[in-house]
Amino acid sequence: MVPRFCVQCGQMLHERLLPGDHRARRVCPACGYVAYENAKPCAGVLPTQDGQVLLARRAVEPYFGRWDIIGGFMEHDETPEEAALREANEETGLTLALDGLLGVYHDVYGSSGYSTLNVYYIARIVAGAPRPYDDVSELAWFPQDKLPTEMAFPHHIHQVLADWSRWIRRSANH
């Protein structure tokens, strides 16, 4: 969400097309500050064990009650890797090790209109037993041929799980 007032001087922002730009931006007429509408960074993990992935059932909106990949919004001082591991620990109680980057995906956060940039990692359990915490009501292991169909964030999550399935098949062949 783009602010209505300048974060530098407090003046009301006005929409205008900047030279060389292709879309209107909110600009401060007093100091020239430009309020860019950037995607919010998110990070998540796909804990993998014996060809299965651990998924979380959401206990909050958006997509209350649907299955989701473990993860969330990055803090301002975190790397994507740190955020993914923190979110996994907050939501599952697990200590994980990252085995690799699965991919980067764009989405919109529910009906808020917030654009998100989602970074996902393949991970393995280092310590702990999975238990639902934070904004999760249930955790369950799913094999690649029995993934739930009613997923949260359907714009990108089905592609993430398809990429995870390909990763599993490639790993089994090596």
Instruction: Indicate the fold that domain 1-37 takes in CATH.
Output: Ubiquitin Ligase Nedd4; Chain: W; (2.20.70)
Nearest to 54 by CA among 82, 116, 96: 96
- Superfamily the domain 40-172 falls into: Nucleoside Triphosphate Pyrophosphohydrolase (3.90.79.10)
> pLDDT per residue over 134-173, tens digit each?
999 999 999 999 999 999 999 999 999 999 999 999 988 8
Judging by DSSP bridges, how do beta strands 114-127 and 40-49 pair with one another? Answer: parallel
Copy the structure tokens of residue 20.
Answer: 């060389």
Q: Can you tell me the distance from the alpha carbon of 128 to that of 108, in angstroms, rounded to the nearest whole number?
A: 32
Proportion of the chain above pLDDT 70, given as a percent = 99
CA dihedral sign of residues 58, 127, 81, 171: negative
Q: Report pLDDT for 56.
A: 99
Q: Please confirm whether the linkage preceding 62 is cis (ω < 30° from 0).
A: yes
Question: Where along the chain do its domains lie?
Answer: 1-37, 40-172
144 DSSP 8-state letter:
G
Q: Can you tell me the distance from the alpha carbon of 82 to that of 6, in angstroms, rounded to the nearest whole number?
A: 31
Binned at pLDDT 50, 70 and 90, residue 17 comes out as very high
